[in-house]
Amino acid sequence: MDFRPSRTDTTGAAPNAVKIIIAGGFGAGKTTFVGAVSEIPPLTTEAALTSASLGIDDTSQVSSKTTTTVAMDFGRITLLDSVILYLFGTPGQDRFWFMWDELVLGAIGAIVLVDTRRLSDSFPAVDYFEERDIPFLVAVNRFDGSKEYTLDDVRNALDIDARRPIVFCDARRRESVRQALIALVRHALDVVAAETRHQGLLSEANAHVD
């Protein structure tokens, strides 16, 4: 199933079912994010962290973390007048990134979860979606005891374009997650609408040339 809205749809209406990617670095809160909002028991592919991951997975800032996603997380939520969102959480570690290309197929956009304690872990996800021209927003996950930064601070640190949405989010709280998802859907539809207008202008210009 292709979850993407049609590029030729001039109404701006959302499809009935859309695919959303939840990405970010190791321990950024992706599994928690999906589980907090899913209407169904979320499907997770968690494996225990063992001594084999020592020196590979950086747990210095997430010492309480005992498991890691090795394939994906999956959940579902209905919002915005019966629009069904299918949520796919990506694995965060470098060694699992080969799965990303398959996971993002058909997605209308992505949320990149950011942990300000390990901001550099977010760069690969941001670069991935920018390079592929996939609509995304940055959600700054609030962790207890972490230093507070403004959204402008995070935007500057990640070198995010001013037009890119960036929001605060608490991945443990359903309503906070829901608002982040609504913001992403609106952003993705705005991108589609802008591309449609651009295509219309090009078609009009070509017609005049002909």
Question: What average pLDDT does this structure show over 96-116?
Answer: 90
Between β-strands 17-24 and 43-48, what pairing exists: parallel, antiparallel or unpaired? unpaired
pLDDT of residue 120 exceeding 70: yes
* Percentage of residues of the chain with pLDDT beyond 90: 54
pLDDT, tens digit (0-9, with 9 covering 90-100), for 125-167 = 999 999 999 999 999 999 888 888 999 999 999 999 999 999 9
pLDDT exceeds cutoff 70 at 13: no
Q: pLDDT-derived band of residue 70, with 50, 70 and 90 as boundaries? A: very low
pLDDT at residue 15, rounded to an integer: 54
Alpha-carbon gap, residue 166 to 204, rounded angstroms: 34
CB 48 within 8 A of CB 67: yes
**pLDDT number for residue 146:** 82
Residue with tokens 């913001």: 183
What integer pLDDT is reported at residue 19 of this predicted model?
A: 96
Q: Which domains are seen in the chain, by residue range?
A: 17-48+68-209 (3.40.50.300)
Q: Is 114 helix (H, G, I), strand (E, B) or coil?
A: strand
**How does pLDDT run across 26-52, given as a tens digit for each residue?**
889 999 999 999 999 988 765 544 444
Tell me the pLDDT tens digit for each residue of 187-197. 999 998 998 88
Helix crossing, 30-37 with 174-209: angle to 10°? 100
Question: Across the chain, what does the average pLDDT equal?
Answer: 81
Give the CA distances from residue 133 to residues 100, 109, 128, in Å, rounded to whole numbers and listed in that order: 15, 10, 9
Tokens of 112: 């990149």
The size of the chain, in residues, is 210
User: What are phi and psi for residue 162, nearest 5 degrees?
Assistant: -60, -25
Q: How far apart are CA 188 and CA 161, in angstroms?
A: 15
